[in-house]
Structure formats: structure tokens, C-alpha cells
Amino acid sequence: MITYIIIDDEPLAHELIEEFCSMLPHLQLKKNCYNALEAMQFLNQQTVDLMFLDLNMPKLKGFDFLRTLSHPPKVIVTTAYKEFALEGYELNVADYLLKPFSFERLVKAINKAIGTQKPGQQSEVRKEENLRFFVKGDKKYHQVASEDILFIEAYGNYTKLFLEQEMILSHEKISYYEELLPPAAFLRVHKSFIVALGKIKLIEGNQIIINQHKIPVGQTYKSLVSKLYGV
């Protein structure tokens, strides 16, 4: 379960974020905070995995509040002011959402945030070998564990995620998953394929065998693949 709080002085912002997050399984709201001091008091007593943080709030501004936290959760900034984006990235903000934002944009921000969570941080949202993220497919949002992925195949402007028990047609390009997935566990072996290293059964010539699937190795990726078996 991914726990989160919302820190914003606008009730409508809380309603929108709550509505969007309620459409994603395994997200749990822990607290609605309407100023930074309220959030500070809460975080002194409890931990969460993620916080949605507004910047322009009374008493204590969002980034000033963030600087007071020695071990902050992952942060998704929600604001109408794009001029503060650079300062946000200097503070290791996971993503920066400009109001008004769409449901799809919020999902991408959550994927980015939980995908960069360090092992052992907060409630261990992500371990390096088992990242969880949401995939849009068939008008639904599927939660996927990276340990269940066999390989990923580019399919025009979409991608096919081949899992242990199913295949999901994703609305993202393969480059999105190459950036999202941990490089210690996944390798791009072709312009159209990313494989899970732990699922490889054998490598035969220019093919990688995973279960009953045969994945080609691209010419420009041969040297990377050869390193897997010490050549």
C-alpha cells in the first residue's frame, strides 16, 4: 500500500487529487493538511510514502517547509506557478504538476515518484528488484510489479508488457519503460525489446529465450548482451 498526504490550502485541490487517487488501487490517503505547519506536526509523528505539495500557502511556503524535513517522503509539487520548477528539482522533487492537471499526468507523476523511491525509505514502496507502477490499458489502470515482467515489446506508439500471467497493451512508448525500470534488473536488447534479466532462460545466437518466447538481439546491443555471460 502506498500512503500519501495532500498539503494545499485550497479545498478544491484536495478534492481533485483525492478523486484521481481513488481510481488507483493500493493508494491510501493518510491526511489532508491545509497548511505546512499542520503537515509538519503530522510528519513528526507518522511517515508516508508520498506527499502532494502546494507551494503558495500561508504562514510557511511549500519549499520552505520542504527544507525543514530531514527525511521527507517523495514529493509531487502541485502548483499554478511554473517559474519555481528549477528550485523544485534542486530539492529532489519527484515531479512538478502545473494546475490544472489531468488524471493521466498525475499517474505519470506517481509512477515517477514511486519508481525513484530508495530501498528502505519510508515504508519501502519500492525495492530495487520489485518496482510497482500503474499502466494504462483497456481503459483501466493496472498495477504492475516489475518482478512479474518477462519482457516489453514496442508496438508502434504503444508497448506490450508480457507478464507471468497476461499481456497488457500500454499507451506508453518503450523509451518510457527504459527510463522507469531499474537498470540492474532490465536491459534493452533491441530497439523494440527490453528483457527482464532474471527471466532469461538461455541465450542462443542472436536470440534470448524467456519461457516460450524468442526475443531478437539487435546488432547495436550485442556487446551489452555478451557482457551477461562474461564475453
Question: pLDDT digit string (tens) for 101-151?
Answer: 999 899 989 988 886 544 344 444 444 446 788 898 877 888 888 899 999
Is the pLDDT at 217 greater than 50? The verdict is yes
158 φ/ψ angles, rounded to the nearest 5 degrees: -115, 180
| Share of residues in the chain with pLDDT > 70 (%) | 89
Inter-residue contact 94 to 75 (CB < 8 Å):
yes
Domain 2-115: give its CATH architecture: 3-Layer(aba) Sandwich (3.40)
Domain boundaries, the chain: 2-115, 132-229
Domains 2-115 and 132-229 are alike in CATH topology: no
Res 16: pLDDT? 95
Picking from 3-7, 50-54, 82-86, 106-110, which range would have the lowest pLDDT averaged per residue? 82-86
Res 83: pLDDT? 67
**CA 145 to each of CA 18, 97, 135: distance values in angstroms, whole numbers, following the listed order:** 23, 25, 10
227 φ/ψ angles, rounded to the nearest 5 degrees: -70, -20
Res 133: pLDDT? 87
Q: DSSP letter for 139, please.
A: T
From the list 121, 111, 178, the residue with the least C-alpha distance to 141 is: 111
Q: Which amino acid is at 209?
A: I
What element of type H or E holds 46? none
Upper half-sphere CA count for residue 17 (Cβ side, 13 Å): 31
Res 151: pLDDT? 98
pTM of the predicted model as reported, rounded to 2 decimal places: 0.61
CA dihedral 61, 63, 67, 68 (to 10 degrees): 30
Class of domain 132-229 as given by CATH? mainly beta
